[in-house]
Amino acid sequence: MQTTDKNQFSQGICLAIDSATEVLALACGHIKQDGTLEILAEANAPANRRANVELLCRIDKMLKSVPIQNIAQDNNGEHHGSAAPQKGDGEPLTEDGHLAEDDCLAEGDHLKISDIDAIVVGRGPGSFTGVRIGVAAAKGLACAIGCPLFGVSTLDAIAHKAYASGITSKIAVIDDAMRKEVYPSLYTLKKPDEHLVCRLEPYTVEKPEDTIKRLAQEKKSLLCMGNGLIKYRDIFEEAGYTCADEELWAPTGSGLLYAFAQALKTGEQGSGDAATLLPIYTRLSDAEENERAALKEKAGKIPESGVADYNSGVANYSTNDKNDLKTEFSSNTKSTKPHPLILSIESSCDETAAAILDGNRQVCSSVIASQINFHARFGGVVPEIASRKHIEAIVAVVEKALEQANICYKDLDAIAVTQGPGLVGCLVVGLAFAKSLGFALDLPIIGVNHLEGHLYANLFVDPKIKPPFVALLVSGGHTMLVHVKKWGSYETLGSTLDDAVGEAFDKVAKALKLGYPGGPILSQLAKEGNSKAIHFPRAMLHSGDLSFSLSGLKTSVITYIKKQNDAGIKINLPDLAASFQAAVIDVQVSKALNACNQVDTHLLCLGGGVAANDALREALKTELGKHNIRVLYPKLADCGDNAAMIGAAACDLYKKQQFISLDADPIARMPLD
Ligand code: KG4
Ligand code: ZN
């Protein structure tokens, strides 16, 4: 996305956020025409892994403590001015997760989120998930407000706070990088009139013992700070280093603002573009580190290293237009589509997706950024890579969905987001972003169960289907038969005791080195094969209940592959794929039929990535058809993860006014029942 005017900033009210460490750092400040900074309010509090839960509630409370009457008019006629700095604020939340309202001013007397002119976010280095929560939330706020987003380093923020506290010696910021390592960074702090905090080295991650050795020459002149000292103070002091007061160890909201004010002066503030701002990572994901180590062993040299090259890969965007859509973006025309207009966001696994649905549950736009190419070489989804890709793609995907629906943020009536089940580090990106949109646009937020989304995808095929019926949900993470009593009222009749169906396809394909995801590859091969060529077990076919087990089948296929390989016999891949697939399908069909009989229904709806399997669709249709049971499945393009299905489920939740609050967290194992 190119830099536009909306990304420019020189003066105004800034909101600063940092959640890279255990301390949730917030501040609100005024950067004046001459570049000077006045801190209006500051709130730094231990968050103890609750950053996503507490962030927006704390921002809300902090803003409510800033009196607007003190804010003078700037010469551009806007609200800017000064308020008395508020005291640091680390009060705990009340039991129900909300903040005590004692310090809040009356409505109309305090600063509002829409008064903010720029957002500043700590980019780390720090806890990967922690940083992503802050960055995702900051992106959501900036998009909703329509203001620029700037990043500063969390370590720089600590250095700037030290400088503001009057320290002028050379300092070493040593933050905890976990795994017995630290993020060390050296700074010179010039005399106050020169106002320059200067970082002397690039970001690194290393063992504290190595930092101690590396900086030994300068230890006498260095003052150490940073949360790495919580663990390593003793060894630094024993080695002759001096540690600063503990109150200087953590990042602060004001430190972030000081760092930003300096960057503005030196022109190093960055583009202001919320879409392209990324966390500072100092390590690759473990999967990539292992890959590099393996390559090094093979090639005898270290492959080109560095974190930056990881970021050069941009997610593939594939749009999935349901209607003949205009791509013109108009922010002035009020949308004529029936309300409520709901923006839905999906980020539970390896697709970043956004969609707009209107009041008739019509899909106005649906955009999916698939990450499959980035995971394929690892034979499965790498959670850390997936989380990073969500952060990279989320703004572009959401704004493309708005653009294709020809609406803007202001036209929306609600924000829906997948709350679970899924990978928690992935879910939290979508959720933090969605909650920020809801907060800043003052819209309700709808938390949707991903599986319910897969189920609702059937409504795009037949909007008239009515419960009760049975749903067979089959994906990379789930295999379950569900009694849909009413929309929103579900009873799980049976599920897998071990692997999910999609997982079994993926693992067999991996064992055959065929690539990822395995489902589409194996089902394609199976078309040419003989399904009776090899007999594989049909686990629990006659168990009498509606549970599944797929790990035995997977093991049996893998054992077969090994035996053939050991004997030097070439495997007939189509026959193997067809035989494996038939074993899976036989059990699925039999259990689906039993489930329909058990609850006495004549409708089975299919959902999830594996619902794209032609042979499964056909077998269900044929066999259940013999018993007068209608089998419905989503269009091929709607079987995989997408946001339109999340929007479809959200339409009903909106009607029921079933919303989530600003402190909602992802639920990795969110149940359907
Ligand atoms: O629903 P989904 O996109 O993501 C999850 O929520 O898991 O499902 C992905 C899964 C993968 O395991 C993939 O191999 C499987 O769906 N899949 C298939 C087919 N297409 C995708 N499995 C069997 N046959 C297919 N044609
Ligand atoms: Zn799914």
Q: Name the residue among 401, 410, 297, 286 with its Cα closest to residue 353.
A: 401
Instruction: Grade residue 305 by pLDDT with cuts at 50, 70 and 90.
Output: very low
What residue owns the CA closest to ligand 1's atom 22? 519
The mean pLDDT of 98-111, rounded to a whole number, is 72
Ligand in closest contact with the CA of 550: 1
Residue 74 predicted with pLDDT over 70 = no
Residue 307 predicted with pLDDT over 70 = no
- Decide if 422 contacts 668 (C-beta within 8 A): yes
Ligand in closest contact with the CA of 639: 1
Which residues face 490 on adjacent strands?
484
Residue 67 predicted with pLDDT over 50 = yes
- Round the CA-based radius of gyration of the chain to a whole number and report it: 27
Q: Which of 76 and 243 is assigned the larger pLDDT?
A: 243
Ligand in closest contact with the CA of 371: 1
Residue 99 predicted with pLDDT over 90 = no
3-state secondary structure labels for all residues of 2-13: CCCHHHCCCCEE
Report percent pLDDT > 90 for the chain: 81
pTM of the predicted model, to two decimals? 0.91
What residue owns the CA closest to ligand 1's atom 18? 519
Amino acid identity, residue 314?
A: V
Residue 111 predicted with pLDDT over 90 = yes
Given ligand 1 and candidates 451, 505, 620, which is best to mutate, with the most ligand atoms within 8 Å of its CB?
Answer: 505
Residue 493 predicted with pLDDT over 70 = yes
pLDDT at 4: 54
Instruction: Grade residue 225 by pLDDT with cuts at 50, 70 and 90.
Output: very high
Q: pLDDT (tens digit, 9 = 90+) per residue, 120-134?
A: 999 999 999 999 999
pLDDT at 561: 96
pLDDT at 326: 26
Q: Which of 202 and 300 is assigned the larger pLDDT?
A: 202
pLDDT at 306: 31
The mean pLDDT of 53-81, rounded to a whole number, is 75
- With 0-12 / 13-18 / 19 or more C-beta atoms within 10 angstroms meaning exposed / middle / buried, residue 193 is exposed
What residue owns the CA closest to ligand 1's atom 2? 609
What residue owns the CA closest to ligand 1's atom 10? 476
Of all atoms in ligand 1, which is nearest to the CA of residue 616? 24
Q: pLDDT (tens digit, 9 = 90+) per residue, 321-346?
A: 333 222 333 333 456 899 999 999 99
Instruction: Grade residue 550 by pLDDT with cuts at 50, 70 and 90.
Output: very high
Residue 211 predicted with pLDDT over 70 = yes
Residue 526 Cα, ligand 2 centroid: separation in angstroms? Answer: 23
The mean pLDDT of 51-61, rounded to a whole number, is 97
Task: Give ligand 1 pocket residues (Cβ under 6 A).
Answer: 349, 475-477, 502-503, 505-506, 517-520, 523, 608-610, 612-613, 640-641
What residue owns the CA closest to ligand 1's atom 19? 519
pLDDT at 296: 74
Q: pLDDT (tens digit, 9 = 90+) per residue, 238-264?
A: 999 999 999 999 999 999 999 999 999
Q: Which residues contact 185 (CB under 8 A, 6 or more apart)?
A: 155, 159, 172, 173, 174, 199, 200, 201, 203
Residue 658 predicted with pLDDT over 90 = yes
Q: Which of 201 and 208 is assigned the larger pLDDT?
A: 208
Of 85-94, 150-159, 518-527, the least confident: 85-94
Of all atoms in ligand 1, which is nearest to the CA of residue 505? 14
Q: Name the residue among 582, 597, 625, 643 with its Cα closest to residue 450.
A: 643
d(CA 111, CA 88): 17
What residue owns the CA closest to ligand 1's atom 8? 609
Q: For the chain, how far is it from start to end, CA to CA, in angstroms?
A: 42
Q: Which helix (H) or strand (E) holds 289?
A: helix 286-299
Q: Which of 315 and 500 is assigned the larger pLDDT?
A: 500
Given ligand 1 and candidates 610, 618, 635, 672, which is best to mutate, with the most ligand atoms within 8 Å of its CB?
Answer: 610
Ligand in closest contact with the CA of 615: 1
Can you say how many angstroms the Cα of residue 568 is from the centroid of all Cα atoms in its chain?
46
pLDDT at 6: 79
Alpha-carbon torsion angle 265, 267, 273, 279, nearest 10: -90
Of all atoms in ligand 1, which is nearest to the CA of residue 518? 14
d(CA 517, CA 37): 52
pLDDT at 335: 64
Residue 159 predicted with pLDDT over 50 = yes
What residue owns the CA closest to ligand 1's atom 26? 613
Report percent pLDDT > 70 for the chain: 88
Report residue 607: phi and psi, to 5°: -155, 160
pLDDT at 301: 55
pLDDT at 193: 62
Residue 421 Cα, ligand 2 centroid: separation in angstroms? Answer: 9
Alpha-carbon torsion angle 392, 395, 396, 400, nearest 10: 150
Residue 3 predicted with pLDDT over 70 = no
Instruction: Grade residue 396 by pLDDT with cuts at 50, 70 and 90.
Output: very high
Residue 669 predicted with pLDDT over 50 = yes
Of all atoms in ligand 1, which is nearest to the CA of residue 506? 14
Given ligand 1 and candidates 475, 507, 508, 585, which is best to mutate, with the most ligand atoms within 8 Å of its CB?
Answer: 475
> What's the chain's average pLDDT?
89
pLDDT at 365: 97
Q: What is the DSSP string of 390-401?
A: HHHHHHHHHHHH
pLDDT at 299: 63
- Decide if 57 contacts 40 (C-beta within 8 A): no
pLDDT at 238: 97
